[in-house]
Structure 1
């Protein structure tokens, strides 16, 4: 009689499909917002005096951070399934709202339409807090490949929208009202993909065998956030094995992992102090003309995507806590580098710098996210996922505020 083969969790059926689904759900988590950023040249034409790239980002972030702070504090009592479904539905509704608003106003500017866009962008922030924190908390107690794939999907949304923007700009460049046609096409595509994410997460993802395995395991360890997911997969209530006194509090998790939280905060504070506002408004005029900002945004997004795959190469992945902190602090050299390049350098140097900014952002983000949640049980890993995203969004908010400092001394301000 042969010896039965031991099936490890990562060899359960559905792993590759789950990785692909996580990628698609990650793309849907930022697709709407990246669409707004990528069509920034259109909004600068419609609202030339309102600093769209800076103002819309500043509107987005307080709602994202504030909502996620509340959700992270109460994560153990919030059903992850309905939280994520609500987030994807809100993405769909608000993206569709942007499309309808532009059609209703025929692409005209003014305070009224701009306020309407700001309200819809605020809804993006609320949706982002639901989805990113919820998905990261959910995937934190599964395989590291899942959370990496999710974050690759986040970057893929930017790369996809940037590449499509280059194509549509080339196609509609000579046509009447070409910028608006490209923007409307983007919003329509984003609306359809957000709706697909709703159905994919609600009806397909929870039924994958490997996903059911990890959620069942988390339930046995005391997680209450997976109850609806298990019910949707046809699994009855599971009795938990973990004792309440064995669990870590949010305060303990913050104390034990403060450097990981600081890592993510600093990564995004630096990145968003440069991207996208500086690239749109502070890089001057060059041979590429109105293509320049679009190319810079595209290069950032493509290299950010590539950087999120490179941690798969073990020799370049940073696992050391001290090494991560040193690398992240070294990125602040980008500030003087971008300043002097914008003042004295040509467009080639700026494109190279922007590419490096994107690559390091993606690589270091995935390194932190795949290392940090290890060594905890299901409930704590879910809490860690929420806290990591909270500090990530906090860094983005700080970076957005710091980005306005580039306008000091600018006459157009």
Structure 2
């Protein structure tokens, strides 16, 4: 495969490298909070030994994420992409902060009320993930291919990064770092990313081609671009597949994704967290196992 080169569709505009770096950070932020919760589950197992948090939290997270993504997908053409992503990252930040506050408020003593609170946060992480992951991939699809590649690389790296941090930090500091990182993502997406010249170019280009979901992004970047009327008229007569038709055409991929998630989540993190037996690493065994699993996952990505 030939290396990607700039051409008429992807000109070399100022801010490209900065955009790639920001996309990587935003990709990290998309799963940083949830991976933090997964990685800290050795702590939760200690706090809530009767409630099996390593199994329950995943069962709470996934239905919330799936339900939200189905709702968003059914209305994707009318949703403001910028607001969707900002809501997601803001929810990640507030939920991560809630984990820290909850732990401080209960003095790390556990209990049913604290566990219910953690479950609620897990569900909010699922809602936030559904907002951000789909929204960002859709947003970056208008732009340079290296942007979405960087975003996906950040997604893959977040697990290894959180696992490595867990090895060298205690629970409270770990929660604080997670919250701060999500706050950085909110600031980057809200104030830095939309003002990069290369991002302005691609969003203006999308608007002139009839895209209705980038108006707020253009305004955030200080641009007001009217859509090309010819492109808008042409779009009216182009065939647009419904979500049902798209799902039917990609049924094999949907089944593959379902099976991959079902198999993965049946083993990780629940089985790895609780059914580890006795090992020379002691309590470090789960952390090291998580880190190796995330590194392997990142290398495959």
Instruction: Indicate how the Cα distance of structure 1 residues 256 and 140 shifts in structure 2: closer, same or farther if over 3 A, else same.
Output: farther
For residues 92-145 of structure 1, the C-alpha deviation after alignment (integer angstroms, 9 at most, x for no partner) is: 111111111111111112111111111121111111111111111111232332
Corresponding position of 1:266: 259
Give the distance between the partners of 1:213 and 1:120, measured in 2 at CA: 37
Which position in structure 2 is the counterpart of 1:184? 172
Aligned to 1:227: 215
State the Cα distance separating 1:214 from its structure 2 match: 2.1
- Aligned Cα RMSD in Å? 1.8
Shift of 1:272: 1.9
TM-score by length of 1: 0.67
Question: For each residue in 1:26-48, what CA deviation from the matched residue of structure 2 results, as whole angstroms up to 9, or x when unmatched?
Answer: 11111111111111111111101
- Give 1:57 deviation, angstroms: 0.9
CA deviations 1:207-240 (Å, max 9, x no partner) are 2222222222222332211110011112214224
Q: Which runs of 5+ in 1 are unaligned?
A: 169-181, 309-413
- Structure 2 residue runs of 5 or longer lacking an equivalent are 1-5
1:290 aligns with 2:291: no
For the pair 1:215 / 2:208, whether they are aligned, the reply is no
What is the match of residue 324 of structure 1? none
Cα separation, 1, equivalents of 2:205 and 2:251 = 27
How far residue 307 of structure 1 moved from its aligned partner, in angstroms, is 2.3
- Runs of 4+ with >6 A deviation: none
> 1:254 aligns to what?
247
Q: Which residue of 2 aligns with 1:244?
A: 236
C-alpha distance 263-11 of structure 1, shift in aligned 2 (>3 A) = farther
| SS at structure 2 position matched to 1:243 | helix
Q: Retained in 2: the 8 A contact 1:10–1:143? A: no
1:256-335 map, 5 Å: 256-308=249-301
Match of 2:3 in 1: none
Aligned residue pair count: 291
Report the CA distance shift for 1:159/1:76 in structure 2 as closer, same or farther (over 3 A).
same
What is the rounded CA distance, in whole Å, between the counterparts of 1:188 and 1:230 in structure 2? Answer: 33
Normalising by structure 2, we get a TM-score of 0.91
Matches within 5 A, 1:42-121: 42-121=43-122
Aligned residue runs from structure 1 range 385-396, under 5 A: none
Contact 1:29–1:88, Cα closer than 8 Å, also in 2: yes
Q: Which residue does the alignment assign to 1:148?
A: 149
Higher RCO, Cα 8 Å, sep 6+? 2
Q: Is 1:21 matched up with 2:13? A: no
